[in-house]
Homo-oligomer: A and B are copies of this chain.
Amino acid sequence: MYVHTPTDTSNSLPSADKPVMRSAFFISDGTAITAETLGKSLLSQFGDVEFDIQIIPYVDTPESAYEAVKRINQAHHLTGLRPLVFDTIVSDHIREIINSADACNLDIYEGLITRIADEINHKPDPHAGIAHSKVDSDDYKSRIDAVHFALDNDDGARTTHYDGADIILVGLSRSGKTPTSLYLALQYGIRAANYPLTEEDLDTSSLPPALKAHKHKLFGLTIDTERLVRIRQERKAGSRYASLAQCQEEQRAIQAIYIAQKIPNLNVSEMSVEEIATRILQMTGLKRRIG
> A residues engaging B (CB < 8 A)?
1, 3, 5-8, 22, 30-34, 37-38, 40-49, 57-58, 82, 84, 88, 90, 104, 106, 108-109, 111-113, 115-117, 119-120, 122, 124-135, 140-141, 143-144, 147-148, 151, 154, 176, 178-179, 182-183, 186, 234, 270-275, 278-279, 281-282, 285-288, 291
Contact = CB atoms under 8 A, between A and B. Distances in A.
Contacts of A58: 278-279, 282
A275 to B, nearest CB: 6
A265 B108 CA distance: 33
Given A125-B48, A186-B182, A288 B37 contact: no
Given A45-B129, A133-B44, A275-B31, A112 B120 contact: no
A286 to B, nearest CB: 7
Contacts of A8: 285, 287
8 contacts: A8-B287, A22-B120, A33-B274, A41-B130, A46-B117, A47-B129, A106-B112, A186-B273
A141 B106 contact: no
A108 B38 contact: yes
Contacts of A288: 3, 5
Contacts of A120: 22, 46, 49, 84
Contacts of A30: 275
Nearest to A146: B179
A16 to B, nearest CB: 22
A272 B84 contact: no
Given A30-B275, A41-B130, A125-B46, A282 B57 contact: yes
A33 B278 contact: yes
Contacts of A111: 111
A82 to B, nearest CB: 7
B129 A44 contact: yes
Nearest to A36: B291
Nearest to A3: B288
Contact of A34 (B37, B48, B90, B182): B37
A225 B42 CA distance: 43
B108 A115 contact: no
A151 B178 contact: yes
Contact of A141 (B126, B183, B186, B234): B234
A282 B113 CA distance: 28
B281 A6 contact: yes
Contacts of A122: 46, 49
Given A22-B120, A282-B57, A178 B90 contact: no
